[in-house]
Every structure is written in C-alpha cells, then in structure tokens.
Structure 1
Amino acid sequence: MKSPVRPLPFWSKLVLLVVITAAGLLWTGMAGMQERVVVLRMFLFFGSALIAFITPYLLFPDPAAPLMQLGNAGPSGLIRHLVRRVSVLLVSTLLFIAVICFGDIHAPINELAAKAIYFLHGSLFFSGLLFYSVIRYTRSGKSSQFWKESDKGKKLRSDLGEYFKYPIDPGAIPSFINTVVVGALGMIAVSAGAALYGSFGLIFELIPALILVAMAAVSFSKLSRDLPSNYYASTAFFNEFFGETVAGKEQEGKVEVFQLWWVPRPIKSHVWAMLLQLDRKFPAGRVLLAGHLLIWILSYQRPGDELMITAWLLFSLFHHIIIVISLSDQFSPAWFQRWIGSAAEWIFARIWIQFRWILILAVSMLFNSWIFGHVSYSAQAAVLLFYIGSATVISLVSHFYKNVYS
C-alpha cells in the first residue's frame, strides 16, 4: 500500500534547499577542513539529542493509521510509510551535512577525499541513529500500554505522586528510556569517533557510524516480523497519551493569562492557548535544561572560542524545535488558528513563545563566560540576535507549511 503522507510541494522544497544551503555556507563557507570537522561533530552531538526527543512527535499519533489499517498494509508498506514520516528531517539533515563538508568557498576541490569520508560518516551516523530511534519508538507501544494499565504501573504512579509530589504517567517510562538510550548512544558515538580519529586516523572515525547502522539493521530485522502489531499498538498508545488530560489530585499547574505579562495584548490569547497545550504535552523546560547542562559540560573541557560559539548557535537553534512541534494538530489545529486569529498573529505568537527562553539563554552564556572565559560579550549578543532571527524565519516557514498541509 502506498503511504498517504503527501510530499512537500515544489516551492517548499526550493525554500528548504535555499535556507539550508545558505545556513551551511554562512556557518562553514570560509572555514578550513579542521574547523569543518569540529562543526560536523558538534552538529552530530546535538543532532543526537534532537533525534532522541523529536522522533515520537514525528511518528505518533499517526493520522494515517486508519488508512493504513483499512488498506491492510504489510510490513514493507508500513516501513515505507514510517520512512516518509521522517523523510523531511532526514533529507534536510543530509543536505546540511553535505554543505558542511563540501561547501568550501575558498578551496572547493581541496581535500575532496577527506570531505567525502566525513560526508559518508555524517550520513551514516545520522541515518543509523534516526532509524534506530524510529524502530525503538515504534516497538514501545506494547510496553507503554503495560505500564499504563497494569497494577505495577498504577502502583508506580501512586508512589511517585505520594513521595515526590509529581504526577507521572507510567506509560511514558519506555519513551523516557528510549530518549535516554538514543541520546546517550549518539553522544557517546561522536566522542568515540573523535577518540578513534586521534589515535588511529581518519578512516577509523567511521567505525561508530557503521555500528549505529548495524544496530539499526539488526533492530529492524527483529521488528519486521511483527511490525504491524507494534505499529498499531504504538499509534493507539500515543494517540491516547497525547490526547488525554490529567484529573483530580494529579492535575498539573497550568499557565495563567496574568503570568504572560511579557506578551503583547493582541496575541496574548494565542500565546496562552499554545503554551497551555505545549506545557501539558511537551516537557520543553526539562529538555532545554538538559541542553544547558551539556553546554556547560562541553565548556568545562576548555575548547576554543570558535567551538563554543558554534555550540551556543546550535543550541539556540535547537530551542526552535518547540515551534516545529507546535505545528501538530494535537497542539493547534489549523481550523482553530483560522478561527481565532490571522496569519500574522499566529506567526508573532510562535515568535513570542520563544522569548520566554531568551533570558535563561542569555544568563547561562553570561555566567559561562565569566567562569570559563569563553565567548565575548559581542559574540553573546550575536547568538541572541541569531536566536531571534532564526525564531522569526522558522515561525514564518512553519506557518506557511502548516497552511499548505491543512
């Protein structure tokens, strides 16, 4: 059965191509080979965290699941469908890796062999880790349902609520484990590849990437035998998980309108509605706190200023995953947006949502520079301007993408 996921229209592909190419050239167009290698490693390091957190949101809940079930799609059809679900992320990332490796404005034909090896390394690494993550999340539905419905899960929910005063759905435990495993695996693989390069040479840095591809292949062979049951179980679980609300003594604190003093009045209701959904379903604060921790760990290693600036730029861009996630109909359906506001209001609302993280980002950079001596004040200001500019661009592109697909 053919996957019902619609491909991007031509103009969207063209815009994506131009934006990714321009970003890659702006970042590494004037860099030497060694700087490109550092940027690629940093990109893969943070890309590991991206894959770990965003995979379930790309895959589930799948609105096409009823059609796939009606068409009695087999394992091969479901595999093609899952690949289509993550294809935009995969193709965009491979294009960006290609620009990092080959976008050498000064010497485009120098060290082509090394550039090709690093492009192969980056492509295998990201593809292997992404598909390994897809497989883990696809087969997590059955265990998630067990923890959600079993007596063990109910007891765990009760214990956590009583002792830690924090409501946790036990069904989320497998997803949490997947997030930790996938993110840690990718970060360890980047570090191991750099160590192998330092000890044995360029070609040996490919080994961790090949291991990730092999792990994905082995996991796929195990999953393919009962892929339909795992796919539909995961779809059912995430559909229920993202669609439910907590009640009674498990009710979490909600953002109140009076707390949004920093939001302009014309878009305050839009921002409140979106934050209400995002805070209920996506733990953005915990995700970004983990990102700050990783940055500080990296800074403790005393890398150069250029590497730290690159890390802060990547991390500032990583914040805008929240904008991408907000496109889901689970957060803000297109009909709801058209009903209560104009295109301009929703674009500004998505931009303004990102302002709640900018003070934390600025303070973290400032204290980091005081303690470790990295990143000048002018560079910090440039990172914050990049943060605002990238939020604006991503909000614009996201809104038009949302309208095309809704």
Structure 2
Amino acid sequence: MRRSSPLPPSSLPRQLAFGGLLLLLCGVAILLVEGADVASRAAGLRLWALAGAGLFAVAPPNVLLPDANAPLLQLLNWPPRRLLRYQVGRLVPLVGLVVLPAALLAYADPTAPLRHLGAKTAALGQALLLVLGTAGDSFVHFATLGPRSQAWQEGRAGQWYHDAVEERGQGVSLPRGLVPALFATTRCFLVGLTAVLLTAAGVQMGPTGAGWAPGVLLLGWAGHRLWQERAAYDRHFYHTTAFYDEVMGGGALHATGRDPLPYDALYWVLPRWRPATWAGLRQLDRRLPLGRLVALAHGGLWLLCVRGVSSTVVAGYLGVVLTAQAAACGLLTSDAAAPLSFQRIHQSTLNWIITRTFVNLRWLGAHAASLGLVALFGDAYGAPWVFTWTAVHAGLALGAATVVTLVHEGRARWASA
C-alpha cells in the first residue's frame, strides 16, 4: 500500500523503543495509584503534569531542531499550515507519553473502577489542560526561536549577556545563538510550574472553576500564539531549523561546550570492538546528552528512596530508566548513523550486537555505584538488590542491542540472502 506522505517513516527500532517506554510508564502509573483515594490521585496527577512540564521544556528543541527532512520539505513546498501540522505531529508522541499514563493515574482502580468517577474525571481534566497547555506553549516558543537565536548570534541582541561574558567571565560555554534556547527551557518549565501551583491553590480554595482556570488560560494563550503564527509558519520553520542545523549539524558554528569522548577512555572495552564502540558513543553523544539524563534519573531514584516509597514503585522506576537507557542505542540504527552498505563491510551482525552492547554498558559502573550508595545509606536494600539490578542493566543492554541490530542489519542481510 502506498504511503500518503512522501516523508520517510520513523525507524522500527525507534517505534519499538517508544512502545516499550510507553508500556513501562503505564505500568508504573498503575503501580503508583494502587489503593489510592481520589485526593491522592488528584495530587499525583498534578505532580505528573509538573513532570510533563519538565519534559516539554527540554524535549521540543531536541525533537524538532534541526529537522532532517527540511531539504525534502523545501522541494515539496508545503504551505505554512501543513508545515505546522507536520511539526505538531512530530510532538504528538511525546504528548502521548504523558497523557496515557495520566489517564491510568486517574482511572486505574481494579477494586472500584466506577467509584468517584466524576471526581477522577475532573482531576484528569485539570491535569490534561496543564499538560496540553505546557506542551503548546513550549512548542510555539521553540518553533519560533530562530530569528531570536540568529539575532543573538550576530550580536544584534543579548548585549548584556555579551558584556557579562567578556567583562566578568560569566556565562555558559555555548555559542551565543544557543543561549536563547537555554533560557527558553527555563522559561517554559517555570510557566508550567506556575500553572501547576496555581491549579493546586485553586483546588484548595474551593470555588468551582478555580482549579480549571490556570490550565484553560495557559492552553488558550498557547493556542492564541499558535493561531497568530500559522500564516507565517513556513518562515519560522525554515529560519529556525536552518540556524540550528548550522549550529548542531556541522556548519560554521559549533556547540563546543564539551570535549568529545577520548578513545583511551574505553579501556574497559575489548580491543576487537573498541573502535566501533568509540564511534558509536561519539555518534550517540552528538544526538542525546545521555549522561545528564542518567544522572537526573538517579537523582530521582535517590529521592524515591529517601521518601521511603514502596519497593514495587522503586522497581518500576528502575525498569523504566534502564529500559529507556538501553533503548537509546536505537538512535544508532538510523540510515544517517548506520548506512547498511557501511555496516556490512565493517562488521557482521553478531559483532554489531556486541558493539552496541558495549555502548549500552557505558553507564553500568555509575549505575552500580548509585545503587550501592542507596544500599549503604539505607536499610531497605542490600547487596543482593544491587547485584540483581546490575544484572538487569547488563541483560537489558544485551537485549536492546540484539533487537535493534537484528531489525536493522539482520533484516537487511536476510533480505539480500
């Protein structure tokens, strides 16, 4: 059957990774609300909306910018509104990662699924307004960031920041054009945080509608901004994606805030697979700041353990984190990162499985150390728990590497056989 869109579809490993992450998030949501009353569910939904605000503050620039399909879109010459629908469609899966578990947080109640149905629906509605409002606000803010970033890069804006860097040595180690994106991340999260806090305050105040107002206003504001920009969205799209392609895609400007991974740092990889592992990790580092995300995830683990949540919730959280971390190797199976003609020449399918397993094991030591700290300073967990989850990490590393490699290199070999 012929596809309706001329754009290339998402790769199968990415689809599998997304599906696995969604299933795990839904499972964790069910575990979190086991036996919870309506008030606890409402509070949990607001916290979930806050987590969604953090996601939408960070994810859009990484998902939308730069757009690899921009050259093809220029040839297709889509009108502004279709470009807008295309970009919104790219963000919809992220919204689904937040919305579907939120529905389970509200309604997953095996003992009495219909009890307090109205209160559950109201809590879910307020949370969905917050989620959609923060997603829309973040989308329109980042999608129209190109002119502002270009002005910063050329020195036509942000002179105060230039003075702080040049005269007082302050500032971050980034090209000036990327500083607005850094500020935008903080701004979008603060907007979401404010809306969540106002919603909680409105619920506590009691008047009907007070808990709905912040979400309605935020969603309405995002929709108003998007409606205003719809007719000129092609200009925003091409300007923004061209600038970030120049910065992030190897143009004259480069984000030089971090040194690349040195080859000698992979002393723990067997020499036979060290060159390919090093190349894979370099590619992955350019696409995803996985180390920072891993550190943030373990900070969340420590917070859960300090608060004394049940071992089931901790296990579900670790399952989500480790699965998502292992699934990240699927980014190395795109046509740009792993063209099949190159892959077949350099290694067999088995060797690519081993290579990507080593890629996934990069953070095994840090993971074991983090679990060891939890066991050392707490009474709930011990050495067997640390060894078990370290083994789970290794197993998921091998499993994810096997799946994505068989789907990419393995399927191509079978087709050519």
* TM interval, short-chain normalised: 0.7 to 0.9
Equivalence for 2:57: 52
- Residue aligning to 2:106: 101
Name the counterpart of 2:30.
28
Deviation at 1:195, TM superposition (A): 4.5
> Which residue in 2 is equivalent to 1:263?
269
The aligned residue for residue 232 of structure 2 is: 226
Q: CA RMSD in A?
A: 4.7
* SS of structure 2 residue aligned to 1:253: coil
How far did residue 236 of structure 1 move? Answer: 0.7
In structure 2, the gaps of 5 or more residues are 413-417
Match of 1:178 in 2: 184
Superposed displacement of residue 244, structure 1: 1.6
| Identical pairs, percent | 24
Q: 3-state SS of the aligned residue for 1:124?
A: helix
Relative distance call for 1:102 and 1:226 in structure 2 (3 A) is: same
Q: Is the 8 A contact 2:246 2:253 kept in 1?
A: no
- Aligned with 1:217 (options 211, 223, 237): 223
Q: SS state of the match for residue 259, structure 1? A: helix
Give me the whole-angstrom Cα distance separating, in 2, the residues matched to 1:320 and 1:364.
17
Distance 1:141 1:23, change over 3 A: closer
Partner residue of 2:244 out of 225, 238, 241: 238
User: Quick check: 2:164–2:170 contact (8 Å CA) kept in 1?
Assistant: no
Q: For structure 1, which runs of at least 5 residues remain unmatched after alignment?
A: none
Shift of the 349–114 alpha-carbon distance from structure 1 to 2, 3 Å rule, reads farther
Greater Cα radius of gyration, structure 1 or 2: 2
Q: CA contact under 8 A between 1:326 and 1:332: conserved in structure 2?
A: yes
Further displaced range: 212-221 or 162-171: 162-171
Which residue number in structure 2 is paired with residue 74 of structure 1?
79
Deviation at 1:365, TM superposition (A): 5.3
In structure 2, what residue type is equivalent to 1:32? G
Are the counterparts in 1 of residues 24 and 319 from structure 2 also a CA contact under 8 Å? no
1:65-123 per-residue CA deviation (whole Å, 9 max, x = no partner) reads 23333333222111111122223333344333333333333333333223333433343
Q: Which moved more, 1:81-90 or 1:331-340?
A: 331-340
Q: TM-score, normalised by structure 1?
A: 0.75
Provide the rounded CA distance (Å) in 1 between the counterparts of 2:211 and 2:262: 50
Any idea what the Cα deviations from partners look like across 1:215-242, whole Å, max 9, x if unmatched? 3212213322421111000111122122
- How far, CA to CA, are the matches of 2:178 and 2:367 in structure 1? 28
Alpha-carbon contact 1:242-1:281 (below 8 Å) kept? no
C-alpha contact (below 8 Å) 2:277/2:356 kept by paired residues: yes
More deviation, 255-264/6-15: 6-15
Question: Alignment partner of 1:226: what SS?
Answer: helix
Matched, 1:83 2:88: yes
Show the counterpart of 1:121: 126
3-state secondary structure, aligned to 1:97: helix
Give the aligned partner of residue 66 of structure 2. 61
Q: Distance in 2 between matches of 1:359 and 1:102?
A: 39
| Inter-partner Cα distance in structure 2 for 1:391 and 1:161 | 47
* Alpha carbons of structure 1 residues 234 and 13: separation in structure 2 relative to 1, 3 Å: closer
RCO (CA 8 Å, sep 6+): is it higher in 1 or 2? Answer: 2
Q: Which residue of 1 aligns with 2:155?
A: 150
Q: Which moved more, 1:352-361 or 1:80-89?
A: 352-361
CA contact (8 A) 1:5 1:81 kept: no
Q: 1:9 to 1:281 in 2, by over 3 A?
A: closer
Q: 1:276 offset after TM fit, Å?
A: 1.5
User: Match of 2:269, SS?
Assistant: coil
User: Is the Cα contact below 8 Å between 1:137 and 1:175 reproduced in 2?
Assistant: yes
TM-score of the aligned structures, taking structure 2 as reference length: 0.73
C-alpha change, 1:232 and 1:47, in structure 2 (3 Å) is same
Q: Secondary structure at the match of 2:53?
A: helix
SS, match of residue 305 in structure 1: coil
> Which among 130, 134, 144 is matched to residue 135 of structure 2?
130
d(CA) in 1 for partners of 2:193 and 2:403? Answer: 29
